[in-house]
Protein backbone atom coordinates (compact mmCIF):
# COMPACT_ATOMS: atom_id res chain seq x y z
CA UNK A 1 0.00 0.00 0.00
CA UNK A 2 2.60 2.51 1.09
CA UNK A 3 5.33 1.24 -1.20
CA UNK A 4 3.34 1.94 -4.35
CA UNK A 5 2.81 5.55 -3.32
CA UNK A 6 6.52 6.34 -3.62
CA UNK A 7 8.20 6.68 -7.01
CA UNK A 8 11.66 6.53 -5.48
CA UNK A 9 13.22 6.15 -2.02
CA UNK A 10 13.45 9.27 0.10
CA UNK A 11 16.61 10.17 1.97
CA UNK A 12 15.44 10.81 5.50
CA UNK A 13 18.39 13.14 6.17
CA UNK A 14 16.51 15.70 4.10
CA UNK A 15 13.27 15.60 6.06
CA UNK A 16 14.10 14.32 9.54
CA UNK A 17 14.85 16.66 12.42
CA UNK A 18 18.52 17.06 13.26
CA UNK A 19 18.30 14.63 16.20
CA UNK A 20 17.17 11.81 13.91
CA UNK A 21 19.48 12.46 10.95
CA UNK A 22 22.18 10.23 12.42
CA UNK A 23 19.75 7.32 12.08
CA UNK A 24 18.66 8.26 8.56
CA UNK A 25 18.41 5.36 6.18
CA UNK A 26 18.49 4.73 2.43
CA UNK A 27 17.47 1.76 0.34
CA UNK A 28 20.93 1.27 -1.14
CA UNK A 29 22.41 0.15 2.19
CA UNK A 30 20.50 -3.13 2.25
CA UNK A 31 20.55 -3.95 -1.48
CA UNK A 32 23.63 -6.09 -0.80
CA UNK A 33 21.57 -8.75 0.98
CA UNK A 34 21.48 -12.00 -0.94
CA UNK A 35 18.18 -13.36 0.26
CA UNK A 36 15.39 -12.06 -2.02
CA UNK A 37 12.65 -12.54 0.57
CA UNK A 38 14.54 -10.62 3.20
CA UNK A 39 15.33 -7.93 0.64
CA UNK A 40 11.63 -7.47 -0.09
CA UNK A 41 10.88 -7.27 3.64
CA UNK A 42 13.56 -4.66 4.17
CA UNK A 43 12.31 -2.68 1.17
CA UNK A 44 8.84 -2.65 2.69
CA UNK A 45 10.22 -1.46 6.03
CA UNK A 46 12.08 1.38 4.33
CA UNK A 47 9.15 2.40 2.16
CA UNK A 48 6.64 2.48 4.98
CA UNK A 49 9.06 4.24 7.24
CA UNK A 50 9.70 6.82 4.52
CA UNK A 51 5.97 7.24 4.05
CA UNK A 52 5.37 7.89 7.74
CA UNK A 53 8.09 10.52 8.05
CA UNK A 54 7.02 12.14 4.77
CA UNK A 55 3.45 12.48 6.06
CA UNK A 56 4.65 13.80 9.41
CA UNK A 57 6.82 16.37 7.64
CA UNK A 58 4.00 17.67 5.42
CA UNK A 59 1.22 17.85 7.96
CA UNK A 60 0.90 18.21 11.70
CA UNK A 61 -0.42 14.87 12.91
CA UNK A 62 -2.55 14.51 15.99
CA UNK A 63 -0.99 12.14 18.58
CA UNK A 64 -3.83 9.65 18.10
CA UNK A 65 -3.25 9.50 14.31
CA UNK A 66 0.51 9.18 14.82
CA UNK A 67 0.02 6.24 17.19
CA UNK A 68 -2.42 4.61 14.75
CA UNK A 69 0.01 4.85 11.80
CA UNK A 70 2.96 3.59 13.83
CA UNK A 71 0.97 0.70 15.28
CA UNK A 72 0.06 -0.45 11.78
CA UNK A 73 3.66 -0.36 10.55
CA UNK A 74 5.14 -2.03 13.65
CA UNK A 75 2.46 -4.71 13.81
CA UNK A 76 2.90 -5.56 10.12
CA UNK A 77 6.68 -5.98 10.36
CA UNK A 78 7.30 -6.96 14.00
CA UNK A 79 8.21 -10.56 13.12
CA UNK A 80 10.93 -9.36 10.76
CA UNK A 81 12.80 -7.50 13.47
CA UNK A 82 13.74 -10.77 15.17
CA UNK A 83 15.68 -11.88 12.07
CA UNK A 84 19.35 -11.91 12.98
CA UNK A 85 20.39 -11.22 9.39
CA UNK A 86 18.55 -7.89 9.33
CA UNK A 87 21.16 -5.20 8.83
CA UNK A 88 21.88 -2.54 11.44
CA UNK A 89 20.69 0.12 9.02
CA UNK A 90 17.33 -1.60 8.51
CA UNK A 91 16.98 -2.22 12.22
CA UNK A 92 17.70 1.48 12.75
CA UNK A 93 14.41 2.16 10.95
CA UNK A 94 12.60 0.04 13.51
CA UNK A 95 14.39 1.80 16.37
CA UNK A 96 13.38 5.20 15.03
CA UNK A 97 9.76 4.14 14.60
CA UNK A 98 9.66 2.36 17.96
CA UNK A 99 11.10 5.28 19.92
CA UNK A 100 8.73 7.68 18.17
CA UNK A 101 5.83 5.38 19.02
CA UNK A 102 6.86 5.29 22.67
CA UNK A 103 7.13 9.09 22.84
CA UNK A 104 3.67 9.49 21.29
CA UNK A 105 2.18 7.03 23.77
CA UNK A 106 3.77 9.03 26.56
CA UNK A 107 2.28 12.26 25.16
CA UNK A 108 -1.14 10.62 25.30
CA UNK A 109 -0.43 9.64 28.94
CA UNK A 110 -0.70 5.96 28.05
CA UNK A 111 2.11 5.13 30.45
CA UNK A 112 1.32 1.45 30.89
CA UNK A 113 1.15 0.84 27.13
CA UNK A 114 4.44 2.70 26.59
CA UNK A 115 6.19 0.72 29.33
CA UNK A 116 4.89 -2.64 28.11
CA UNK A 117 5.95 -1.94 24.52
CA UNK A 118 9.34 -0.78 25.79
CA UNK A 119 9.88 -4.11 27.51
CA UNK A 120 9.09 -5.98 24.26
CA UNK A 121 11.36 -3.68 22.31
CA UNK A 122 14.18 -4.20 24.80
CA UNK A 123 13.80 -7.99 24.47
CA UNK A 124 14.24 -7.77 20.69
CA UNK A 125 17.32 -5.55 20.99
CA UNK A 126 18.90 -7.88 23.54
CA UNK A 127 18.33 -10.86 21.22
CA UNK A 128 20.27 -9.08 18.50
CA UNK A 129 23.06 -8.27 20.93
CA UNK A 130 23.22 -11.92 22.01
CA UNK A 131 23.67 -12.85 18.34
CA UNK A 132 26.74 -10.55 18.27
CA UNK A 133 25.31 -8.37 15.50
CA UNK A 134 27.30 -5.23 14.74
CA UNK A 135 26.20 -2.15 16.67
CA UNK A 136 23.56 -4.17 18.59
CA UNK A 137 25.20 -3.38 21.94
CA UNK A 138 24.95 0.34 21.24
CA UNK A 139 21.28 -0.12 20.43
CA UNK A 140 20.78 -1.90 23.75
CA UNK A 141 22.33 1.09 25.55
CA UNK A 142 19.98 3.45 23.71
CA UNK A 143 16.98 1.27 24.56
CA UNK A 144 17.95 1.00 28.22
CA UNK A 145 18.38 4.77 28.45
CA UNK A 146 14.91 5.29 27.00
CA UNK A 147 13.44 2.65 29.31
CA UNK A 148 15.03 4.33 32.32
CA UNK A 149 13.55 7.68 31.27
CA UNK A 150 10.09 6.10 31.04
CA UNK A 151 10.43 4.51 34.48
CA UNK A 152 11.65 7.72 36.04
CA UNK A 153 8.96 9.92 34.48
CA UNK A 154 6.24 7.48 35.53
CA UNK A 155 7.61 7.05 39.08
CA UNK A 156 8.43 3.41 38.42
CA UNK A 157 9.92 0.94 40.89
CA UNK A 158 13.18 2.45 42.25
CA UNK A 159 14.85 -0.96 42.30
CA UNK A 160 13.99 -1.57 38.63
CA UNK A 161 15.22 1.92 37.70
CA UNK A 162 18.50 1.16 39.44
CA UNK A 163 18.90 -2.18 37.66
CA UNK A 164 18.21 -0.60 34.25
CA UNK A 165 20.60 2.34 34.60
CA UNK A 166 23.28 0.13 36.14
CA UNK A 167 23.06 -2.27 33.19
CA UNK A 168 23.22 0.64 30.73
CA UNK A 169 26.28 2.13 32.46
CA UNK A 170 28.18 -1.16 32.60
CA UNK A 171 27.39 -2.02 28.97
CA UNK A 172 28.40 1.45 27.81
CA UNK A 173 31.71 1.14 29.64
CA UNK A 174 32.34 -2.18 27.94
CA UNK A 175 31.60 -1.09 24.37
CA UNK A 176 33.20 2.38 24.50
CA UNK A 177 36.33 1.94 26.63
CA UNK A 178 38.07 4.65 24.62
CA UNK A 179 36.02 7.28 26.40
CA UNK A 180 38.87 7.71 28.87
CA UNK A 181 41.34 8.36 26.05
CA UNK A 182 42.03 12.12 25.69
CA UNK A 183 41.69 11.67 21.94
CA UNK A 184 38.40 9.76 22.11
CA UNK A 185 35.42 11.15 20.14
CA UNK A 186 33.40 13.72 22.06
CA UNK A 187 30.18 11.76 21.46
CA UNK A 188 31.54 8.80 23.42
CA UNK A 189 32.45 11.00 26.35
CA UNK A 190 29.05 12.71 26.28
CA UNK A 191 27.28 9.35 26.30
CA UNK A 192 29.35 8.06 29.20
CA UNK A 193 28.96 11.30 31.15
CA UNK A 194 25.17 11.34 30.73
CA UNK A 195 24.80 7.74 31.89
CA UNK A 196 27.11 8.38 34.85
CA UNK A 197 24.97 11.34 35.92
CA UNK A 198 21.82 9.23 35.89
CA UNK A 199 23.65 6.37 37.60
CA UNK A 200 24.86 8.69 40.37
CA UNK A 201 21.34 10.07 40.84
CA UNK A 202 19.79 6.63 41.25
CA UNK A 203 22.67 5.42 43.43
CA UNK A 204 22.07 8.35 45.78
CA UNK A 205 18.35 7.58 45.99
CA UNK A 206 19.08 3.91 46.58
CA UNK A 207 21.26 4.59 49.62
CA UNK A 208 18.41 5.47 51.99
CA UNK A 209 19.67 3.30 54.86
CA UNK A 210 22.29 5.37 56.72
CA UNK A 211 23.98 2.21 58.01
CA UNK A 212 25.03 1.37 54.44
CA UNK A 213 25.03 4.88 52.98
CA UNK A 214 28.00 6.02 55.05
CA UNK A 215 30.12 3.35 53.37
CA UNK A 216 28.95 4.24 49.84
CA UNK A 217 29.11 8.04 49.76
CA UNK A 218 32.73 7.74 48.65
CA UNK A 219 31.72 5.80 45.53
CA UNK A 220 29.22 8.55 44.68
CA UNK A 221 32.00 11.11 44.92
CA UNK A 222 34.19 8.97 42.66
CA UNK A 223 31.38 8.74 40.08
CA UNK A 224 31.09 12.51 39.90
CA UNK A 225 34.86 12.81 39.61
CA UNK A 226 34.68 10.49 36.59
CA UNK A 227 32.03 12.77 35.10
CA UNK A 228 34.37 15.73 35.55
CA UNK A 229 37.16 13.78 33.86
CA UNK A 230 34.95 13.07 30.86
CA UNK A 231 34.16 16.78 30.52
CA UNK A 232 37.81 17.89 30.46
CA UNK A 233 38.72 20.09 27.51
CA UNK A 234 35.09 20.87 26.57
CA UNK A 235 34.03 24.50 26.71
CA UNK A 236 30.42 24.42 25.54
CA UNK A 237 27.52 25.47 27.75
CA UNK A 238 26.29 21.91 28.34
CA UNK A 239 29.72 20.72 29.54
CA UNK A 240 29.94 23.75 31.81
CA UNK A 241 26.55 22.94 33.32
CA UNK A 242 27.50 19.28 33.85
CA UNK A 243 30.76 20.28 35.54
CA UNK A 244 29.03 22.68 37.90
CA UNK A 245 26.37 20.10 38.82
CA UNK A 246 29.01 17.49 39.65
CA UNK A 247 31.17 19.93 41.61
CA UNK A 248 28.15 21.08 43.63
CA UNK A 249 27.20 17.47 44.36
CA UNK A 250 30.75 16.56 45.40
CA UNK A 251 30.76 19.42 47.91
CA UNK A 252 27.40 18.38 49.34
CA UNK A 253 28.43 14.72 49.63
CA UNK A 254 31.73 15.58 51.31
CA UNK A 255 29.87 17.83 53.73
CA UNK A 256 27.46 14.98 54.44
CA UNK A 257 30.29 12.73 55.58
CA UNK A 258 31.93 15.57 57.52
CA UNK A 259 34.96 16.04 55.27
CA UNK A 260 34.78 19.81 54.80
CA UNK A 261 38.52 20.14 54.16
CA UNK A 262 38.27 17.57 51.35
CA UNK A 263 35.94 19.61 49.17
CA UNK A 264 37.69 23.00 49.38
CA UNK A 265 39.35 22.46 45.94
CA UNK A 266 35.97 21.53 44.42
CA UNK A 267 34.31 24.55 46.03
CA UNK A 268 37.02 26.85 44.68
CA UNK A 269 36.66 25.36 41.21
CA UNK A 270 32.87 25.79 41.34
CA UNK A 271 33.39 29.39 42.46
CA UNK A 272 35.76 30.07 39.53
CA UNK A 273 33.35 28.54 36.98
CA UNK A 274 30.36 30.45 38.36
CA UNK A 275 32.37 33.67 38.44
CA UNK A 276 33.53 33.22 34.82
CA UNK A 277 29.96 32.56 33.65
CA UNK A 278 28.66 35.55 35.57
CA UNK A 279 31.35 37.90 34.24
CA UNK A 280 30.80 36.71 30.68
CA UNK A 281 27.10 37.44 31.04
CA UNK A 282 27.74 40.90 32.46
CA UNK A 283 30.22 41.69 29.66
CA UNK A 284 27.76 40.54 27.01
CA UNK A 285 24.86 42.29 28.77
CA UNK A 286 22.96 39.03 28.66
CA UNK A 287 23.00 37.21 31.97
CA UNK A 288 20.57 34.50 33.05
CA UNK A 289 18.96 34.10 36.46
CA UNK A 290 20.66 30.69 36.78
CA UNK A 291 24.08 32.32 36.36
CA UNK A 292 23.30 34.82 39.12
CA UNK A 293 22.04 32.15 41.52
CA UNK A 294 25.05 29.91 40.77
CA UNK A 295 27.35 32.84 41.54
CA UNK A 296 25.57 33.48 44.86
CA UNK A 297 25.58 29.78 45.72
CA UNK A 298 29.32 29.61 45.01
CA UNK A 299 29.88 32.00 47.92
CA UNK A 300 27.86 29.70 50.19
CA UNK A 301 29.86 26.62 49.14
CA UNK A 302 33.16 28.44 49.62
CA UNK A 303 32.15 29.67 53.09
CA UNK A 304 31.14 26.15 54.13
CA UNK A 305 34.40 24.72 52.78
CA UNK A 306 36.42 27.17 54.90
CA UNK A 307 34.81 25.89 58.12
CA UNK A 308 37.29 22.98 58.38
CA UNK A 309 39.79 24.26 59.35
CA UNK A 310 37.81 27.27 60.48
CA UNK A 311 38.98 30.29 58.50
CA UNK A 312 36.76 32.96 60.03
CA UNK A 313 38.26 35.90 58.14
CA UNK A 314 37.79 34.24 54.76
CA UNK A 315 34.21 33.23 55.60
CA UNK A 316 33.30 36.77 56.69
CA UNK A 317 34.89 38.24 53.55
CA UNK A 318 33.16 35.88 51.10
CA UNK A 319 29.81 36.04 52.92
CA UNK A 320 29.95 39.85 52.78
CA UNK A 321 30.72 39.74 49.03
CA UNK A 322 27.80 37.39 48.48
CA UNK A 323 25.41 39.61 50.45
CA UNK A 324 26.55 42.64 48.42
CA UNK A 325 25.82 40.75 45.20
CA UNK A 326 22.35 39.83 46.48
CA UNK A 327 21.76 43.49 47.31
CA UNK A 328 22.80 44.47 43.76
CA UNK A 329 20.33 42.08 42.07
CA UNK A 330 17.20 42.90 44.01
CA UNK A 331 14.99 41.94 41.07
CA UNK A 332 15.96 38.31 41.77
CA UNK A 333 14.74 37.49 45.30
CA UNK A 334 17.25 35.41 47.26
CA UNK A 335 16.07 35.06 50.89
CA UNK A 336 17.29 31.44 51.12
CA UNK A 337 20.80 32.35 49.96
CA UNK A 338 20.98 35.59 51.98
CA UNK A 339 19.90 33.83 55.18
CA UNK A 340 22.55 31.12 54.70
CA UNK A 341 25.31 33.70 54.24
CA UNK A 342 24.14 35.61 57.32
CA UNK A 343 24.13 32.42 59.40
CA UNK A 344 27.65 31.53 58.25
CA UNK A 345 28.89 35.05 58.94
CA UNK A 346 27.26 35.13 62.39
CA UNK A 347 29.06 31.92 63.37
CA UNK A 348 32.37 33.35 62.17
CA UNK A 349 31.85 36.58 64.12
CA UNK A 350 31.32 34.49 67.25
CA UNK A 351 34.58 32.64 66.63
CA UNK A 352 36.32 36.02 66.37
CA UNK A 353 34.91 37.03 69.79
CA UNK A 354 32.43 39.51 68.31
CA UNK A 355 29.17 38.45 70.00
CA UNK A 356 27.26 41.65 69.15
CA UNK A 357 27.93 41.28 65.40
CA UNK A 358 27.09 37.57 65.62
CA UNK A 359 23.78 38.24 67.35
CA UNK A 360 22.90 40.99 64.87
CA UNK A 361 23.51 38.72 61.85
CA UNK A 362 21.59 35.83 63.44
CA UNK A 363 18.54 38.01 64.06
CA UNK A 364 18.77 39.57 60.60
CA UNK A 365 18.79 36.09 59.03
CA UNK A 366 15.44 35.27 60.67
CA UNK A 367 14.05 38.61 59.53
CA UNK A 368 15.26 38.08 55.94
CA UNK A 369 13.35 34.78 55.76
CA UNK A 370 10.20 36.37 57.18
CA UNK A 371 10.36 39.33 54.77
CA UNK A 372 11.29 37.28 51.68
CA UNK A 373 8.91 37.30 48.73
CA UNK A 374 8.60 33.53 48.48
CA UNK A 375 5.55 33.59 46.23
CA UNK A 376 7.66 35.06 43.40
CA UNK A 377 10.43 32.50 43.96
CA UNK A 378 8.01 29.59 43.59
CA UNK A 379 7.02 30.93 40.16
CA UNK A 380 10.59 31.02 38.84
CA UNK A 381 11.60 28.49 36.20
CA UNK A 382 13.48 25.43 37.50
CA UNK A 383 12.61 26.34 41.11
CA UNK A 384 13.49 23.46 43.43
CA UNK A 385 10.70 23.33 46.06
CA UNK A 386 12.95 21.53 48.55
CA UNK A 387 15.69 24.13 48.18
CA UNK A 388 13.34 27.11 48.44
CA UNK A 389 11.02 26.05 51.22
CA UNK A 390 10.44 29.03 53.47
CA UNK A 391 10.04 27.23 56.79
CA UNK A 392 13.08 25.04 56.18
CA UNK A 393 15.27 28.14 56.15
CA UNK A 394 13.40 29.79 58.99
CA UNK A 395 14.02 26.72 61.13
CA UNK A 396 17.73 26.81 60.32
CA UNK A 397 17.96 30.52 61.12
CA UNK A 398 16.01 30.21 64.38
CA UNK A 399 18.16 27.24 65.44
CA UNK A 400 21.27 29.30 64.73
CA UNK A 401 19.86 32.20 66.73
CA UNK A 402 19.30 29.85 69.68
CA UNK A 403 22.90 28.65 69.47
CA UNK A 404 24.20 32.21 69.37
CA UNK A 405 22.07 33.23 72.35
CA UNK A 406 23.21 30.19 74.34
CA UNK A 407 26.91 30.88 73.75
CA UNK A 408 28.98 31.89 76.76
CA UNK A 409 30.29 34.96 74.93
CA UNK A 410 26.79 36.42 74.76
CA UNK A 411 25.58 38.33 77.83
CA UNK A 412 23.62 36.41 80.47
CA UNK A 413 20.22 38.16 80.05
CA UNK A 414 20.02 36.73 76.54
CA UNK A 415 19.60 33.22 77.96
CA UNK A 416 15.92 33.96 78.56
CA UNK A 417 15.65 35.14 74.94
CA UNK A 418 17.13 31.83 73.81
CA UNK A 419 14.41 29.96 75.70
CA UNK A 420 11.73 32.10 74.08
CA UNK A 421 13.13 31.51 70.57
CA UNK A 422 13.29 27.74 71.20
CA UNK A 423 9.67 27.71 72.39
CA UNK A 424 8.59 29.78 69.38
CA UNK A 425 10.34 27.33 67.05
CA UNK A 426 8.73 24.34 68.78
CA UNK A 427 5.26 25.93 68.56
CA UNK A 428 5.71 26.85 64.90
CA UNK A 429 6.72 23.33 63.88
CA UNK A 430 4.00 21.72 65.93
CA UNK A 431 1.52 23.84 63.99
CA UNK A 432 3.21 22.90 60.70
CA UNK A 433 3.25 19.21 61.65
CA UNK A 434 7.03 18.89 61.27
CA UNK A 435 7.90 16.41 64.04
CA UNK A 436 11.64 16.37 63.30
CA UNK A 437 12.09 20.12 63.69
CA UNK A 438 9.74 20.18 66.66
CA UNK A 439 12.06 17.66 68.31
CA UNK A 440 15.13 19.79 67.53
CA UNK A 441 13.62 22.85 69.19
CA UNK A 442 12.52 20.75 72.19
CA UNK A 443 16.18 19.77 72.58
CA UNK A 444 17.21 23.43 72.44
CA UNK A 445 14.48 24.29 74.93
CA UNK A 446 15.86 21.66 77.27
CA UNK A 447 19.30 23.21 76.93
CA UNK A 448 17.90 26.64 77.80
CA UNK A 449 16.14 25.29 80.89
CA UNK A 450 19.35 23.66 82.09
CA UNK A 451 21.30 26.88 81.56
CA UNK A 452 18.68 28.71 83.60
CA UNK A 453 18.94 25.98 86.28
CA UNK A 454 15.24 25.21 86.13
CA UNK A 455 15.82 21.56 86.97
CA UNK A 456 12.20 20.53 87.55
CA UNK A 457 11.08 21.91 84.20
CA UNK A 458 14.12 20.40 82.48
CA UNK A 459 13.35 17.00 83.99
CA UNK A 460 9.79 17.17 82.68
CA UNK A 461 11.13 18.09 79.25
CA UNK A 462 13.40 15.01 79.28
CA UNK A 463 10.42 12.71 79.83
CA UNK A 464 8.46 14.17 76.92
CA UNK A 465 11.57 14.29 74.76
CA UNK A 466 12.13 10.54 75.09
CA UNK A 467 8.49 9.91 74.11
CA UNK A 468 8.84 12.12 71.04
CA UNK A 469 12.05 10.38 69.98
CA UNK A 470 10.43 6.96 70.33
CA UNK A 471 7.55 8.10 68.08
CA UNK A 472 9.98 9.23 65.38
CA UNK A 473 12.09 6.06 65.20
CA UNK A 474 9.86 3.96 62.86
CA UNK A 475 9.82 6.70 60.18
CA UNK A 476 13.22 8.24 60.83
CA UNK A 477 15.09 6.91 57.76
CA UNK A 478 18.46 8.63 57.46
CA UNK A 479 18.02 10.48 60.77
CA UNK A 480 17.79 7.41 62.99
CA UNK A 481 21.48 7.59 63.96
CA UNK A 482 20.86 11.11 65.32
CA UNK A 483 17.87 9.82 67.25
CA UNK A 484 20.00 7.15 68.91
CA UNK A 485 22.35 9.85 70.12
CA UNK A 486 19.44 12.00 71.32
CA UNK A 487 18.17 9.14 73.49
CA UNK A 488 21.54 8.88 75.20
CA UNK A 489 21.84 12.66 75.60
CA UNK A 490 18.31 12.92 77.03
CA UNK A 491 19.20 10.24 79.60
CA UNK A 492 22.39 12.07 80.54
CA UNK A 493 20.56 15.40 80.85
CA UNK A 494 17.86 13.80 83.02
CA UNK A 495 20.60 12.25 85.17
CA UNK A 496 22.17 15.70 85.62
CA UNK A 497 18.79 17.14 86.68
CA UNK A 498 18.27 14.33 89.21
CA UNK A 499 21.79 14.83 90.53
CA UNK A 500 21.21 18.57 90.99
CA UNK A 501 17.98 17.77 92.83
CA UNK A 502 19.82 15.37 95.19
CA UNK A 503 18.88 11.99 93.69
CA UNK A 504 22.24 10.49 92.82
CA UNK A 505 21.21 6.75 92.83
CA UNK A 506 18.45 7.44 90.31
CA UNK A 507 20.88 9.50 88.22
CA UNK A 508 23.35 6.58 88.14
CA UNK A 509 20.51 4.27 87.17
CA UNK A 510 19.70 6.43 84.13
CA UNK A 511 23.35 6.49 83.05
CA UNK A 512 23.33 2.69 83.10
CA UNK A 513 20.18 2.74 80.95
CA UNK A 514 21.94 5.00 78.43
CA UNK A 515 24.94 2.65 78.27
CA UNK A 516 22.66 -0.35 77.78
CA UNK A 517 20.79 1.42 74.96
CA UNK A 518 24.07 2.25 73.22
CA UNK A 519 25.15 -1.38 73.39
CA UNK A 520 21.76 -2.49 72.05
CA UNK A 521 21.97 -0.22 68.99
CA UNK A 522 25.26 -1.83 68.00
CA UNK A 523 23.45 -5.09 67.24
CA UNK A 524 23.12 -5.45 63.47
CA UNK A 525 19.76 -7.25 63.62
CA UNK A 526 18.02 -4.52 65.66
CA UNK A 527 15.22 -2.72 63.81
CA UNK A 528 13.91 0.82 64.15
CA UNK A 529 10.79 -0.54 65.86
CA UNK A 530 13.05 -2.24 68.43
CA UNK A 531 14.78 1.07 69.09
CA UNK A 532 11.39 2.72 69.62
CA UNK A 533 10.36 0.06 72.15
CA UNK A 534 13.59 0.48 74.14
CA UNK A 535 13.27 4.28 74.07
CA UNK A 536 9.68 4.09 75.40
CA UNK A 537 10.81 1.74 78.17
CA UNK A 538 13.48 4.25 79.26
CA UNK A 539 10.88 7.05 79.12
CA UNK A 540 8.46 5.05 81.29
CA UNK A 541 11.22 4.38 83.80
CA UNK A 542 12.17 8.06 83.95
CA UNK A 543 8.53 9.05 84.37
CA UNK A 544 8.22 6.62 87.28
CA UNK A 545 11.35 8.06 88.91
CA UNK A 546 10.05 11.62 88.53
CA UNK A 547 6.65 10.76 90.00
CA UNK A 548 8.30 8.93 92.92
CA UNK A 549 11.29 11.12 93.77
CA UNK A 550 10.42 14.59 92.44
CA UNK A 551 6.69 15.02 93.16
CA UNK A 552 7.01 18.81 92.97
CA UNK A 553 7.64 18.42 89.24
CA UNK A 554 4.06 17.15 89.04
CA UNK A 555 2.43 19.20 91.76
CA UNK A 556 3.79 22.57 90.65
CA UNK A 557 2.28 24.23 87.54
CA UNK A 558 5.46 23.53 85.66
CA UNK A 559 6.30 22.63 82.08
CA UNK A 560 5.96 18.94 82.95
CA UNK A 561 2.17 19.03 83.07
CA UNK A 562 1.90 21.06 79.89
CA UNK A 563 4.32 18.79 78.05
CA UNK A 564 2.49 15.65 79.10
CA UNK A 565 -0.78 17.14 77.83
CA UNK A 566 0.80 17.81 74.43
Residue 504: CB partners within 8 Å, gap ≥ 6?
498
Residue-by-residue pLDDT tens, the chain, 566 positions: 333 333 333 333 333 343 333 333 343 444 444 455 555 666 666 666 666 666 665 566 666 777 777 777 777 666 666 555 556 666 777 777 777 777 777 777 787 888 888 888 787 777 777 766 666 677 788 788 878 888 887 777 888 888 888 888 888 777 766 555 666 566 666 777 788 888 887 887 777 655 566 667 777 788 888 888 777 777 777 778 888 888 888 888 887 777 766 788 888 989 998 998 888 888 887 888 888 888 999 999 999 888 876 788 999 999 999 999 999 887 777 888 999 999 999 999 988 888 889 999 999 999 999 888 777 665 555 555 555 578 888 999 999 999 888 876 665 555 577 888 999 999 999 888 888 888 889 999 888 888 888 888 888 888 888 888 888 877 655 455 577 788 888 888 888 988 888 888 888 888 888 888 888 877 767 777 888 888 888 888 888 888 887 766 544 334 433 333 33
* 132: region left, alpha or beta (phi > 0 left; psi from -120 to 50 alpha): left
Residue 362's pLDDT is 93
Residue 353: CB partners within 8 Å, gap ≥ 6?
409
Give alpha helix (H) positions in 231-373. Answer: 237-256, 264-283, 289-305, 312-328, 335-351, 355-371
This prediction's pTM: 0.70
CA distance 226 to 531: 39
CA distance 95 to 128: 13
Max Cα distance, the chain (Å): 103
Domain extents for the chain?
Answer: 451-566
CA distance 528 to 210: 12
Residue 364's pLDDT is 94
Length of the chain equals: 566
3-state secondary structure at position 307: strand
CA distance 262 to 17: 45
CA distance 268 to 261: 12
The CA angle 566-366-249, to the nearest 5 degrees, is 95
CA distance 173 to 195: 10
Tell me which residue of 42, 81, 41, 73 sits closest to 55, measured CA to CA. Answer: 73
3-state secondary structure at position 433: coil
Is the four-CA dihedral 552, 555, 557, 562 of positive or negative sign?
A: positive
Residue 38's pLDDT is 55
CA distance 538 to 447: 20
3-state secondary structure at position 142: helix
Is the four-CA dihedral 501, 504, 506, 508 of positive or negative sign?
A: positive
Is the four-CA dihedral 202, 204, 208, 211 of positive or negative sign?
A: positive
Amino acid sequence: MFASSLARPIRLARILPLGLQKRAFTVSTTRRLDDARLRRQVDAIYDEGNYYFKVREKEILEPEKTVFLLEEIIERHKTNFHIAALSSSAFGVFMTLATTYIHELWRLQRTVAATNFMRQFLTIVRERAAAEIQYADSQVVMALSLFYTLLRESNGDPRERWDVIKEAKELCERIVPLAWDPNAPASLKDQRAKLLQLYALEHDLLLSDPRTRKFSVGSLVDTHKQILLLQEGKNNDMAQKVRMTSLRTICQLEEERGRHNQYLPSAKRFFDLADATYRAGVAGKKISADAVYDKIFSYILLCKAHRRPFNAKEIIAKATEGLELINDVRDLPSPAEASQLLVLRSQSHLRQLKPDEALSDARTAVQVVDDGNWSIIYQLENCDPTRYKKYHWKNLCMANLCDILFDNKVTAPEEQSGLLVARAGRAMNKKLGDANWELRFRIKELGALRRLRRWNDALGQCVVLLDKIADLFPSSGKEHLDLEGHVVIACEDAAECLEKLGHQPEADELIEEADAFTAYTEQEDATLEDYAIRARAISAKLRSIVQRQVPQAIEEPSLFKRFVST
